[in-house]
Structure 1
Amino acid sequence: MQPPTQVLHQRLDLDGVEVFYREAGPPDAPVLLLPHGYPCSSYQFRNLMPLLADRWRLLAPDFPACGYSATPYDFTYDFDGYADFLARFVGHLGVERFALYLHDFGSQIGLRQAISRPQRITALIVQNGDIYEDQLGPRYATLKQFFANPSEEALGTLAEAVSLAGYREEFLNEVEPAVAARIAPDLWQLHWALTTPLRKRIALQVIAGLRENLAWFPHYQAYLRQHQPPTLILWGPRDGYMPEGAARAYLRDLPDAELHLFEDGGHWLLETHLQQAAVLIRDFLGRTLSDVQQG
């Protein structure tokens, strides 16, 4: 018998696409769905999952063209395509209701899933995921230049970020050296090793798609105002893309949300502040999901 907190590394065929995912916890327990951000994969949740798997079922898929999932040519590589992928993924596994962990671009993908099927969402955990345009940090400067003038030259500048050096910069972001030392170089080395020329073009396409995604920000906010899902906000303000104001902005639409700032933390809290975050997540899920019955 496997230990109750053992993480399993699974594969499934989803409409002809091989999907890799990590799974932990009892199959009949309340579900926490863990869509990843950029430039990452389910690998970012590898340390969190065992800390929760005694009471909850954790599911962390690699999106197509990310991690160990396949890179199909006929997949729609945009936020709608990834949101549809999430819906089909949980459907394939027979999951009817779930809490969502929203991080990085996974926040927008997850919220599109929530908007389309609000009855499925039991709770939200938001960790450095931006949906408020007026609070975008200074590291958005290059993206904003592209948004204003989506020329080939501007696109070429964005392409420079899809590199080993660019990945390293994404992971280290604005944290101080003592905190950066907790972030394993395996992160950027692994994801660069998995970045084929095709995946690099796809990543650039998704980054460029952030321009259209801005129009969705009011829709994400409207979902929160209308449905008021129980929400835990964990935030590292040393984030050049999503500073403290981006976290506090959620309280405009979710005044009852629980906000916790990790003052020396940045974009990748599960690398630098794992134990503290896990304690807060366990407490939150224990109060909100214990009685949820999965269909």
Structure 2
Amino acid sequence: MQREATRHRHVRVGDRDLFVREAGREDAPAVLLPHGYPCSSFQFRRLMPALSDRWRTVAFDWPGFGYSDTPEPAGFGYDFDAYADVLTDVTDVLGLERYALWLHDYGSQISLRHAIAHPDGIAALIIQNGDIYEDVLGPKYATIKAWWADKTDENHRPLEEAVSEEGFRNEFVGEVSGEIASRLPPDLWKLHWPLMDTPVRRAVSVGLMEKLEQNLEWFPRYQSYLRENQPETLIIWGPQDGYMPEESARAYYRDLPNAELHLLRDAGHWLLETHFDEALPLVRNFLSRMLR
């Protein structure tokens, strides 16, 4: 298996520069990898070269994250619609016409908005801990729901406190066992937090938590897209996830009864960090059948 090194560059997308990672031949079937929170395209650094022998993998940092530009809020919406537009611009600039789309964390909701607008571009979906079913949201949503219900300074303060180095660390190691947590490199928060510790980026991160409330209105539309289009789907899930427990994964069967589901029992939200050797064969097997 001939793997190719990951290439790194900045790409002009619209009126801003985005940091892009790519691996694999440009003419190979493509896998598009939008990242979640609190991270960047760094979260796919192991997966990309591991697929590069057969597939073109593309990951990038959203505006306001990682090494990409941080536009002033007056000129960029920093909401799910704005990010969905960025995703479409990325596919246009990089010449991606049909691709498998990875859904994880915030990236799942952004990517499904993109898929609704561009259904012909979606060759397959890979869903890793991405929630679109309101009735099975996990217990960690309680903090955000408290602010949705009563928008006081007191209820808002935990959202602000979560946007910190310690808050980022807790997102990565706070829900899995000590043994599993030991597999998570501190680089994930130690390297990323200094990039995010600016007034605009901190405000962006808090704002995305706030805007999850409006995003709930899109959940039925995401579900309708899946139900009506029946994309080929692999669901690979870490159930030790306070936001998205096992029930959140199984809920996809309501609309995708033929989806392929794998629960990695002691894994959490960041299974590509902790269970990579288990996840990779599942992903490769799926892609070998869907993207030839």
The TM-score normalised by the length of structure 2 is: 0.97
The 8 Å contact of residues 133 and 214 in structure 1, kept in 2 or not, is answered as: yes
* 1:91-240 equivalences in 2 (<5 Å): 91-195=92-196, 196-240=198-242
Q: Please give the alpha-carbon distance, in whole angstroms, between the structure 2 residues aligned to 1:4 and 1:180.
A: 29
Query: What do the CA deviations read for 1:100-125 (whole angstroms, capped 9, x no partner)?
Result: 00000100000000011111100000
The amino acid of 1:60's aligned partner reads: A
Q: Please give the alpha-carbon distance, in whole angstroms, between the structure 2 residues aligned to 1:63 and 1:269.
A: 21
Q: Please give the alpha-carbon distance, in whole angstroms, between the structure 2 residues aligned to 1:176 and 1:102.
A: 24
The 8 Å contact of residues 132 and 249 in structure 1, kept in 2 or not, is answered as: yes
Q: Please give the alpha-carbon distance, in whole angstroms, between the structure 2 residues aligned to 1:76 and 1:25.
A: 32
In the TM superposition, what is the alpha-carbon distance from 1:190 to its structure 2 partner?
Answer: 1.4
- Give the gaps of 5 or more residues in structure 2: none
The 8 Å contact of residues 3 and 50 in structure 2, kept in 1 or not, is answered as: no
Task: Please say if 1:263 is aligned against 2:265.
Answer: yes
Q: Please give the alpha-carbon distance, in whole angstroms, between the structure 2 residues aligned to 1:157 and 1:62.
A: 26
In the TM superposition, what is the alpha-carbon distance from 1:4 to its structure 2 partner?
Answer: 4.3
Q: Please give the alpha-carbon distance, in whole angstroms, between the structure 2 residues aligned to 1:76 and 1:32.
A: 26
The amino acid of 2:45's aligned partner reads: R
The 8 Å contact of residues 173 and 267 in structure 1, kept in 2 or not, is answered as: no
Q: Please give the alpha-carbon distance, in whole angstroms, between the structure 1 residues aligned to 2:152 and 2:110.
A: 26
The 8 Å contact of residues 128 and 267 in structure 1, kept in 2 or not, is answered as: yes
Q: What does residue 71 of structure 2 align with?
A: 72
Query: What do the CA deviations read for 1:25-44 (whole angstroms, capped 9, x no partner)?
Result: 01001110000000000000
Q: Please give the alpha-carbon distance, in whole angstroms, between the structure 2 residues aligned to 1:35 and 1:163.
A: 22
Q: What does residue 28 of structure 2 align with?
A: 29
Q: Please give the alpha-carbon distance, in whole angstroms, between the structure 1 residues aligned to 2:15 and 2:246.
A: 42
Structure 1 runs (4+) greater than 4 angstroms displaced: none
Q: Please give the alpha-carbon distance, in whole angstroms, between the structure 1 residues aligned to 2:138 and 2:81.
A: 25
Q: What does residue 283 of structure 2 align with?
A: 281
Q: 2:243 aligns with which of 230, 241, 244?
A: 241
Q: Please give the alpha-carbon distance, in whole angstroms, between the structure 1 residues aligned to 2:218 and 2:131.
A: 11
Q: Please give the alpha-carbon distance, in whole angstroms, between the structure 2 residues aligned to 1:4 and 1:266.
A: 28
Q: Please give the alpha-carbon distance, in whole angstroms, between the structure 1 residues aligned to 2:174 and 2:224.
A: 30
Query: What do the CA deviations read for 1:46-104 (whole angstroms, capped 9, x no partner)?
Result: 01111101100000010000000010111110000000000001101111111100000
The amino acid of 2:132's aligned partner reads: I
The amino acid of 1:15's aligned partner reads: G
The amino acid of 1:121's aligned partner reads: I
In the TM superposition, what is the alpha-carbon distance from 1:149 to its structure 2 partner?
Answer: 1.8
- Give the gaps of 5 or more residues in structure 1: 291-295
Q: How many equivalent pairs are there?
A: 288
The amino acid of 2:155's aligned partner reads: A
Q: What does residue 293 of structure 1 align with?
A: none
Please state whether the residue corresponding to 1:72 is helix, strand or coil: coil
In the TM superposition, what is the alpha-carbon distance from 1:156 to its structure 2 partner?
Answer: 2.3
Please state whether the residue corresponding to 1:39 is helix, strand or coil: coil
Task: Please say if 1:63 is aligned against 2:58.
Answer: no
Q: Please give the alpha-carbon distance, in whole angstroms, between the structure 2 residues aligned to 1:200 and 1:188.
A: 14
Please state whether the residue corresponding to 1:160 is helix, strand or coil: helix
Please state whether the residue corresponding to 1:18 is helix, strand or coil: strand
Q: Please give the alpha-carbon distance, in whole angstroms, between the structure 2 residues aligned to 1:152 and 1:115.
A: 36
The 8 Å contact of residues 234 and 277 in structure 1, kept in 2 or not, is answered as: yes
Please state whether the residue corresponding to 1:34 is helix, strand or coil: strand
